[in-house]
Chain A
Amino acid sequence: EPEVTQTPSHQVTQMGQEVILRCVPISNHLYFYWYRQILGQKVEFLVSFYNNEISEKSEIFDDQFSVERPDGSNFTLKIRSTKLEDSAMYFCASQDRGANVLTFGAGSRLTVL
């Protein structure tokens, strides 16, 4: 069964450092998402991406965040200067045209020290 893959599974970084989280969505899907879940809290929407541009973003997704689909297969989330409160599980998801279901990856755990 097709799946969304994410790397790394866990990254530890120092506050202020840049982090790039990578995702390979399901190949024929057209919509891409990043969500995050801070420990013990709910899964929160960060950003959606369609047709090579951001279609919607939340208040969390400030200037420190950016997304890119550099080569037609990978979908990346960059955090320019990490803060302690960026520590969370980050989930990538993809969605087929006309579908309501998002397929999620296993997540990347980011720990900011």
Chain B
Amino acid sequence: DQQVKQNSPSLSVQEGRISILNCDYTNSMFDYFLWYKKYPAEGPTFLISISSIKDKNEDGRFTVFLNKSAKHLSLHIVPSQPGDSAVYFCAASGEGAQKLVFGQGTRLTINP
């Protein structure tokens, strides 16, 4: 039951360029979407979120875009920095439930 999918297990980007991480979901009842970042031996850390009533949310170098009709969201990081190298998880919640449903994660590597 993969309600949240991240189809790219890994992504490699040059420092200074834009990183684009993608996420698809199948449950139309999801109404809140989040991106978490995870370093090895640490827990997931909240990065940015978006409500289903919006199509874009920006916070510094990070922007999340939501396309409800396509059930797709993306995270843009620009410019990418070496410290951005981590695993990024897309997560969603909805249907009145508090829990988050996570995607499989995308390992982002920023090359100097």
Contacts and interface: CB of A to CB of B under 8 A. Distances in A.
Contacts of B93: 100
A105 B46 CA distance: 12
B43 A91 contact: yes
B97 interface: yes
Contact of B104 (A42, A95, A107): A42
B99 A48 contact: yes
Q: How large is the interface on A (under 10, 10 to 19, 20 to 34, 35 or more residues)?
A: 20 to 34
B106 to A, nearest CB: 11
Q: How large is the interface on B (under 10, 10 to 19, 20 to 34, 35 or more residues)?
A: 20 to 34
A44 interface: yes
B25 interface: no
Contacts of B100: 45, 102
Interface string A24-50: 000000010101000001111100101
A102 B34 CA distance: 10
Given A42-B103, A43-B89, A101-B34, A91 B98 contact: no
Interface in A54-101: 55-56, 91, 93, 95, 100-101
A100 B104 contact: no
Given A35-B102, A100-B49, 10 more contacts: A42-B89, A42-B103, A42-B105, A45-B99, A45-B101, A48-B98, A100-B32, A101-B46, A101-B49, A106-B41
Interface of B: 32, 34, 36, 41-46, 49, 89, 93, 97-105
Interface of A: 4, 6, 31, 33, 35, 41-45, 48, 50, 55-56, 91, 93, 95, 100-107
